[in-house]
Amino acid sequence: MSMQDPIADFLTRVRNAGAARHVTCDVGASRLKEQLAKLLVDAGYIESFTITGDGAQRSVSLRLKYGADGQPVIRGIDRVSRPGRRVYRGADALPKVLGGLGTSIVSTSRGIMTDVQARSLNVGGEILCNVW
């Protein structure tokens, strides 16, 4: 059985691992998932990620981040654009998640980036997910 939405699978694995208080979370590797993991590290939502395995057996291992109270740093993570309903926005119409406290991850013509970076470069694109 083929996977219909690998990004939703990635986000669900991260959400479930945080809810279960796991230290690490493994997902199948792809360039898109590696870029998503890098953005989550840069934004401070996860500690780090590593690529393990070789060839078709590669996986991305995420080290999740928790606050002093033991709660996961990622309080919520939602898929916005789906295969059945794509959501595109221009640079001036990119949403601010929780009034700027969260992050939108946008796929632009210049690559995958956060909403803040997309606004500063004045590029819009497909809104992949929101993280807070």
pLDDT in tens, 2-59: 579 999 999 999 999 999 999 999 999 999 999 999 999 999 999 999 999 988 899 9
Q: What's the predicted TM-score (pTM) here?
A: 0.91
Distance, CA of 27 to CA of 36 (rounded, Å):
12
CATH topology for the 77-131 domain: Dna Ligase; domain 1 (3.30.1490)
pLDDT of residue 55: 85
CATH topology for the 6-64 domain: Ribosomal Protein S8; Chain: A, domain 1 (3.30.1370)
- Give me the residue spans of the domains in the chain: 6-64, 77-131
User: Per-residue pLDDT averaged across 62-80, rounded?
Assistant: 96
pLDDT band at 1 (very low <50, low <70, confident <90, very high): very low
Distance, CA of 124 to CA of 113 (rounded, Å):
10
Per-residue pLDDT tens for 78-121?
Answer: 999 999 999 999 999 999 999 989 999 999 999 999 999 999 99
pLDDT of residue 56: 86
Mean pLDDT across the chain: 95
Question: Percent helix, strand and coil across the chain, each rounded to 5?
Answer: 35, 35, 35
Please say whether the beta carbons of 131 and 45 come within 8 A: yes
The sign one gets for the Cα dihedral 37, 17, 58, 86 is negative
